Amino acid sequence: MSGKDTSMTASFTTPALANDFFAPLKARADEIERRYRQATPVSQALFERGGKVFPGGFTRDAIVRSPYAPFFARGKGAELIDRDGRRIVDFWFNATSLPIGHADDRVVTAVSEQLGLGSAFFGMTEREIELAELLTARLPSAERIRFANSGSEAVMMALRIARGFTGRNLLIKFEGAYHGTYDDVQWSVGPSPKLFGDARRPTPVPDTAGLPGGDGRVLVLPYGHTELLEEAMAMHGGKVACIIVEPMCNRIGLVIPPPEFFQAARRLCDTHGAVLIFDEVIAFRLGYRGAQGVVGVTPDMTTLGKIIGGGFPVGGVAGRADILAVSDPHAKNRVAHAGTFNANPVTAAAGLATMTALDEAAFERINTLGAEVRRRLVEIVKGLPLTVTGAGSLFKINATAEPVTDYRSAITADAAWEKLVSQLLLIDGFMLTPTLHGCVSTATRPEHVDGLLAAIAAIVRS
Ligand SMILES: Cc1ncc(COP(=O)(O)O)c(C=O)c1O
């Protein structure tokens, strides 16, 4: 798979006509919300109850939906049952983290066995070595690995290790990229056009209140623009500790830039003594050797999460032995890394069962199915101001006729329209994100895909 064939587009004509297309559905927003509430009274009641203990009703921003998120009772394979007793086909699998579906028997058995033996110890277990051996054998950049409890923690540790290794502070991240909730990466994740400044030199915009400031710590660049990365490294290279980049940028429509971009990042890090970090918290699901196996560039460090925990909280920092050596507890000036639940044996058992099931043939199956979904979506949206993007087992419909390549092209999409389509799909029993991101798992069956595509066609062609 190259950068070229991973992103497919079906484009349309002028913005005025695009407005004509999006407006009728948006005019139905109240009616759609009424239908959602009617279909989900139990979720609504639970959300109201949760509102008394959670600020605004939520304890996890990523799942926020208006007027409220669905509450779930259980899941098996690719299907969920919500608290209203409705069957919902899952096309997001807890933010891509369940590549073999919900409650897979192999995972349930492995976890149950481990639970019977004890769920956490003030010491080590063989399970964590087994998971580490599996991951380091697959991932080209991974000579050593350390486990954490979330992708955010993995990113935090990777940045600290890169800074410890280089003795420098500045990190480069890309506009529109989400790397979790650590202070130094919550810059320009979804910046407002009023604040984001020059397209060639974006102004770093805080994504949250409460950040201590990014001066001298964070440089934001446009995603996928090789010449601007070269220019920035020529100017600041000697101060740069690391470049952190998603090989496939989730928030920019699951797009993969051309290989030259990653080759340039590799070369520039080598030239200037900076560390190249691939954030594969999501992108690791692109292939047996991760996204780095797909783009053909080996970073110095890789951050992991989601699928490697088999449905349990997890994170991982993998990379060159000499770099991770700064986190050796016996090293002088070491980078400290503790965590009560790091390498938890239940997580390790679930991760091992999942990643073992996810062999090369399984990756081939989900990627083939993902490509089929994208191909059929392109057919469905032909002639409409919609663009289909994605790679591997992932897909996204963008409410824009513009090719989506970076943050500023991605935000030409009509987010309100995407949200309403997602809500209609949820009413129909299909779960994508409010931004119409989706993915398949090994548990996704042809009838699930047929059902989703028929529901999308009925909405966009009505
Ligand atoms: C690329 C990327 N990095 C880091 C994270 C943070 O992971 P977590 O939610 O496990 O903290 C995410 C979460 O979606 C992500 O997509």
CATH superfamily of 4-99+359-460: Aspartate Aminotransferase, domain 1 (3.90.1150.10)
Tokens of 2: 């190259």
Domain ranges within the chain, ordered by starting residue: 4-99+359-460, 105-357
Q: How confident is the model at residue 1 (pLDDT cuts 50, 70, 90)?
A: very low
Q: How confident is the model at residue 14 (pLDDT cuts 50, 70, 90)?
A: low
Q: Ligand 1 within 6 A of 250 CB?
A: yes
Pocket test for ligand 1, best of 93, 277, 292, 306 (most atoms within 8 A of CB): 306
Q: Ligand 1 within 6 A of 180 CB?
A: yes
pTM recorded for the entire structure: 0.96
Distances (CA, A) of 325 to 146, 156, 401, 406: 11, 17, 48, 35
Tell me the pLDDT tens digit for each residue of 254-269: 999 999 999 999 999 9
For residue 329, what pLDDT is reported?
96
Give, as one character, the DSSP assignment of residue 238: G
Pocket test for ligand 1, best of 179, 183, 254, 278 (most atoms within 8 A of CB): 179
For residue 11, what pLDDT is reported?
46
For residue 358, what pLDDT is reported?
98
Tell me the pLDDT tens digit for each residue of 102-137: 999 999 999 999 999 999 999 999 999 999 999 999
Tokens of 284: 């690791």
Q: Ligand 1 within 6 A of 114 CB?
A: no
The CATH class of 105-357 is alpha beta
Pocket test for ligand 1, best of 96, 256, 281, 437 (most atoms within 8 A of CB): 281
Q: Ligand 1 within 6 A of 281 CB?
A: yes
For residue 7, what pLDDT is reported?
44
Mean of pLDDT values over 7-34: 78
Tell me the pLDDT tens digit for each residue of 39-80: 999 999 999 999 999 999 999 999 999 999 999 999 999 999
Supply the mean pLDDT for the chain: 96
Q: How far is the CA of 41 from the centre of ligand 1 (A)?
A: 31
Q: Does pLDDT of 10 surpass 80?
A: no
Pocket test for ligand 1, best of 282, 304, 312, 437 (most atoms within 8 A of CB): 282
Q: How far is the CA of 305 from the centre of ligand 1 (A)?
A: 7
Distance CA 444, CA 446 (A): 7
Q: Ligand 1 within 6 A of 278 CB?
A: no
Q: How confident is the model at residue 339 (pLDDT cuts 50, 70, 90)?
A: very high
Q: Ligand 1 within 6 A of 282 CB?
A: yes
Which atom from ligand 1 is nearest to the alpha carbon of 251?
16
437-439 sheet: strands from edge to edge: 387-389, 394-398, 437-439
Query: N- to C-terminal Cα distance for the chain?
Result: 35
